[in-house]
Structure 1
């Protein structure tokens, strides 16, 4: 096991002159013990304990490389890279974030460089934007439910069934339905924006949740905790990777991939244009995309792998074989930036709030 040292440092979050935020830094010395080892600098929104198996796998193949890992919020990653690049400074060698829109914006605005790798041509077309931004995970938005509450009927498996269930059980489920707060949750906003594109009657679903006294949260864990102990009966559009991890430890949590369509989001990796050591960044990205790296992702991190070369449980290959066209991955493309327009974003949030209040 590689020795990991944690130190807390204050980092300035620059966008809109926000106040400093606390980021976690983990240092993984080179396994070889080389004193003057090159250091890979990573900015990531993945919690360091989850990232550790991937780092250890990379260092096993690259024993002379140390890793400096900064665990921060998705907005911080974007802000740091832009500010450091614009100031003529060096920035991270690799950036990994669940904020698909911000990662694509970095790529589109010239803050990421091309990474032509062995797997580039074989990577799914929807998951590769010009060899600069790569989707590295395959994470569906799911319904979660409290199993003991569904002993006499099946949980809803489509949005129409979801609405029907809420209407038939109005009294029993009032205040016991949950979803993300799209004003505070980036992934919640992403899922809602895709819902609007994929499902013409989505506002009927939102209105039905409003009538059912839906509770909204910014984190998956807040919802899953309440579903697991029965305070909530259903959760809508919950990130599947977190739901699967929670269900593995809490047997009363059930998961449904909506049969009408299932939105799939991804965490995106890229090498910044101003990377201090871009070749190290590319080497880490290449490991992420390799069969070994994607297997670690699926089996140890418990995050579904996207690589077409990896099969078995918790992979895009297996999910696509089972669910086919039901799965709708979010393409890595400039289309993701539409709702970075503050007017469009505000309009969607306003309509969401109106729909929740309308009943």
Structure 2
């Protein structure tokens, strides 16, 4: 992990939290006076975002940053409300809810921005220059290493089914997201269904094995780390890689049959108070320096490095070469996941299949 310059750490001590309408706000003062203020709404925790903001400010020392940490739904609703009430909203938004960010763009609430890297950005990661995927986060199998001594953990969905059917220790020790409470879990399942018609056989096998469901990656990784779970299916790779770095008993595998990839998406709102600052921040995050910070310091695999052949492994994970990667495209196709009738049908089928109905 590369070091952050001492100047950036010193700047961090000056960041002052404040009260907010919907979520905690932290103000990062300009390192050298203040001529401008960039307003950011984001779902990335403030402590994780701080190195990005400090590095950006090192290049733009006259810019203060007002950073608001929101939940995904709050972020979308806030931008939509402020935009439609005739006022102004954030200059830049960054969210793990791919569908909601695309909805802002599809509803005309995001402005086109062309950065220095736009021409080189993958087509799937850019919708009409209004919504850009910046990270590249695979869904992985995470497992408790001591539980697989003497046996190779499954590396494909067919091997997962075999393990569920033949290994007694699988009973009650397989875990995954509760798709009714986890947005990323729901997205992973929806994508699995599109790519793999036999996915419901796997869901049924997990049901027979007494699968445990949890709303967050942390819940799953805590239980994998101490052995209460032997294996977790479809975990967000960035969090699993960090947990594996901290706990030597956690291993992770990028599935060899196919690996779903999701992204965190950036938007510059149409009604931004300072759209030039939002575009400038986007340009920085898409630059090689910004993408390297995402990957090496925040340990979030970055589109510009992983897709375009950058150095090193994926945010602490293994090399992606040779894998069948299936990124979720940044496109209006994501809006189907927001349809309530579609969502209800998928969750109902999930529950019925797990119950053996």
Shared fold per TM-score greater than 0.5: yes
CA distance in 2 between partners of 1:99 and 1:286 (Å): 21
**Counterpart in 2 of 1:201?**
198
CA distance in 2 between partners of 1:309 and 1:151 (Å): 34
Q: 1:347 to 1:260 in 2, by over 3 A?
A: same
Instruction: Report the secondary structure of 2:322's partner residue.
Output: helix
**Counterpart in 2 of 1:188?**
185
Q: 1:342 to 1:94 in 2, by over 3 A?
A: same
**Counterpart in 1 of 2:60?**
62
Q: 1:5 aligns with which of 5, 9, 16?
A: 16
Q: Is the 8 A contact 2:220 2:232 kept in 1?
A: yes
Q: Quote the offset at 1:312 in angstroms.
A: 2.1
**Counterpart in 2 of 1:145?**
143
**Counterpart in 2 of 1:77?**
75
Instruction: Report the secondary structure of 1:272's partner residue.
Output: coil
**Counterpart in 1 of 2:311?**
311
Instruction: Report the secondary structure of 1:298's partner residue.
Output: helix
**Counterpart in 1 of 2:262?**
265
Q: Is the 8 A contact 1:291 1:309 kept in 2?
A: no
Q: Are 2:228 and 1:217 equivalent residues in the alignment?
A: no
Q: Is the 8 A contact 1:148 1:252 kept in 2?
A: yes
Q: Quote the offset at 1:10 in angstroms.
A: 4.2
**Counterpart in 1 of 2:322?**
323
Q: 1:346 aligns with which of 337, 344, 347?
A: 344
Q: 1:284 aligns with which of 270, 281, 288?
A: 281
Q: Is the 8 A contact 2:20 2:68 kept in 1?
A: no
Deviations 1:318-343 (A, max 9, x none): 844x234x111111111111121111
CA distance in 2 between partners of 1:45 and 1:232 (Å): 28
Q: Are 2:218 and 1:235 equivalent residues in the alignment?
A: no
Structure 1: tracts of 5 or more residues without a match: 12-22
Q: Which runs of 4+ in 1 moved over 3 A?
A: none
**Counterpart in 2 of 1:30?**
30
Instruction: Report the secondary structure of 1:70's partner residue.
Output: strand
- Alpha-carbon RMSD across the aligned residues, in angstroms, is 1.5
Q: 1:175 aligns with which of 166, 172, 177?
A: 172
Q: Quote the offset at 1:315 in angstroms.
A: 6.3
Q: Is the 8 A contact 2:296 2:315 kept in 1?
A: no
**Counterpart in 2 of 1:154?**
152
Instruction: Report the secondary structure of 1:216's partner residue.
Output: strand
Q: Is the 8 A contact 1:294 1:310 kept in 2?
A: no
Deviations 1:137-166 (A, max 9, x none): 000000000000111110000011101101
CA distance in 2 between partners of 1:83 and 1:178 (Å): 38
What is the TM-score normalised by the length of structure 1? 0.93
Q: Quote the offset at 1:45 in angstroms.
A: 0.4
**Counterpart in 2 of 1:131?**
129
CA distance in 2 between partners of 1:196 and 1:95 (Å): 29
CA distance in 2 between partners of 1:70 and 1:6 (Å): 10
What is the TM-score normalised by the length of structure 2? 0.93
Structure 2: tracts of 5 or more residues without a match: 1-8
**Counterpart in 1 of 2:223?**
226
Q: Quote the offset at 1:178 in angstroms.
A: 0.7
CA distance in 1 between partners of 2:93 and 2:19 (Å): 19
**Counterpart in 1 of 2:92?**
94
